Amino acid sequence: MGKNFIKIFFILFLILISISCFLFFIFSKISKGSIKKFFSGNIRLKKEKFSDVFFKTKQENFKIFFPKFSKEIQLFLHKARPDEVCNYFVEIFLIKGGKSRVFTTKEKIYLSYNGCYDFSDAATNFWLSLTILNEDRIKVEMFVDLSFTGKIEKESFFLAPIKKEKIFSDNKEIVSLKDAKWIGADLFLKLLENKDFENKQRLVFSSDKKKYQCFFSVGDLLIYKDGRWIEGNNYDTKKYSIAKIISFNENSLEIEYWEKDRLGEDKIVILKKNFSETFRIQDQFITDIRIRTKNQISCLLKNRRMVLREKDILLKKDNLWKKISLKNFKENLEEREFFIFDSLEKIGNGIIFKGYYFNKDRTNFYIIKKNIKVRKINNRRKR
């Protein structure tokens, strides 16, 4: 009995020594001072909240690793659209994996590893955060959740973003924007003291051989909707390609264009249209003016008797003159020469007929004033 007990004890002792040696071998491999290999899903730990384990326990391993990782990525900086909450997006390109994604500075950027780095939609124990210091310098912070020790280690480095050439297709929206004509303010609308257009400039576009115009001020956003550029103040601009009016001076207008669902802006400069054309009117443009009421006259226009009320408009078309209301004219704003009857002014004992003759682009006008002879009617007393 005693001999059997000694044999059992000796066998158990040998088993215990074998297990101890095996465990010592495993832990000595894990605690070595250099990282030879990363694992992706091969090591499973109890209470491990991430599926991938990249790093071993010692902090110095992480410090040895991070300078190498800075050579594994490239950064590209993209200016965000004006309707975004951030000013810039950062595009990260993983060199070995050949993949890229775009992030904001508020996002956690999770990475996985399986022979090469890749972006992970699920949380891992290795992530990045970005801080844009300026357009030439970005701070990259790396975080590692060392599950063996329950600590999160952090290191950082700096990279200069690479300038990426912007390639834009010549689609209809950008072609029409580049071909637009900047013709300045609308003097007619200013004359009417329309506050909505007081500080507005105009761009003239062509769509399906038809011209249309869009009013703008510095800082306005235009959207491309239904084949036309229009003011975007009343729309959800994120659904459209947009153009922002950056600035203008006496000679040129600067616009930044963003295509829908594409990164980066395209800068467009439009030169102001010079109006060398001159237009003249004859002194006898309107003759034989007769007062009918306090705001209504009759007159001869090319031997044709017409009745005009204040703010009526005469539109020139094929050398003929057509009378239209101010409301209809403002809705169409055709590119034609026109005359507007402004008012009757009483000066002393006389009355002045006043109107404005505009060129077709409404960038110039003549003031027409004529004295109206008031016919005196002598009432004879009955004797």
Q: Per-residue pLDDT for the chain (383 aa), expressed as one digit of tens each?
A: 566 667 777 777 777 777 777 666 665 554 444 333 433 333 333 333 333 344 443 444 555 455 678 889 999 999 889 988 888 999 999 999 899 999 999 999 999 888 888 999 999 888 999 999 999 999 999 998 876 566 788 889 999 999 877 666 678 888 889 899 998 888 888 887 777 777 789 998 987 777 888 889 999 999 999 989 999 988 999 999 999 999 998 889 999 999 887 777 888 899 887 765 566 666 567 888 898 888 899 988 878 888 999 989 888 887 788 888 877 776 666 678 889 999 998 887 888 999 999 988 888 888 888 888 766 544 444 44
Sign of CA dihedral 167, 169, 170, 171: negative
pTM: 0.65
Q: Examine the fold and report which residue of 159, 183, 215 is the final residue of a domain before the chain moves on.
A: 159
Say if residue 140 is in the same domain as residue 196.
Answer: no
| The two structure tokens encoding residue 67 | 């300078």
Asked, for residue 134, whether it belongs to a domain, the answer is: yes
- Judge whether 263 lies within some domain: yes
Shared domain check, 146 and 54: yes
CA distance 158 to 139: 5
Query: Do residues 213 and 148 both lie within one domain?
Result: no
User: Is 13 within a domain?
Assistant: no
pLDDT at position 256 is 92
Whether the CB-CB separation of 201 and 214 falls below 8 Å is answered with no
Asked if 145 and 220 sit in the same domain, the reply is no
What does the pLDDT read at residue 25?
Answer: 62
Range of the domain at 138: 31-159
> What is the rounded distance in angstroms from the CA atom of residue 334 to the CA atom of residue 360?
8
Check whether residue 320 and residue 266 sit in a common domain.
no
Give the separation between CA 292 and CA 305, rounded to whole angstroms. Answer: 13
Q: Is residue 94 part of a domain?
A: yes
What is the reported pLDDT for 90? 94
- Give yes or no: residues 263 and 294 share one domain: no
Tell me the torsion sign for CA atoms 311, 316, 319, 322.
Answer: negative
DSSP code string of 314-343: EEEETTEEEEE-HHHHHHH--SS-EEEEEE
> Do both 147 and 110 map to the same domain?
yes
Residue 195 located in a structural domain: yes
Whether 154 and 35 map to the same domain: the answer is yes
pLDDT of res. 284: 64
CB 189 within 8 A of CB 197: yes
Q: Are 139 and 38 in a shared domain?
A: yes
Residue 173, pLDDT score: 87
Could you tell me if 128 and 48 lie in one domain? yes
The whole-number pLDDT of residue 128 equals: 95
Please report whether residue 313 resides in a domain.
Answer: yes
How many domains does the structure of the chain reveal? Answer: 3
Name the domain boundary from 138, 159, 180: 159
* 244 burial level (CB within 10 Å; 0-12, 13-18, 19+): buried
End position of a domain, from candidates 271, 301, 322? 271
Backbone angles phi, psi at 25, to 5 degrees: -65, -45
> How far apart are the C-alpha atoms of 211 and 133, rounded to whole Å?
45
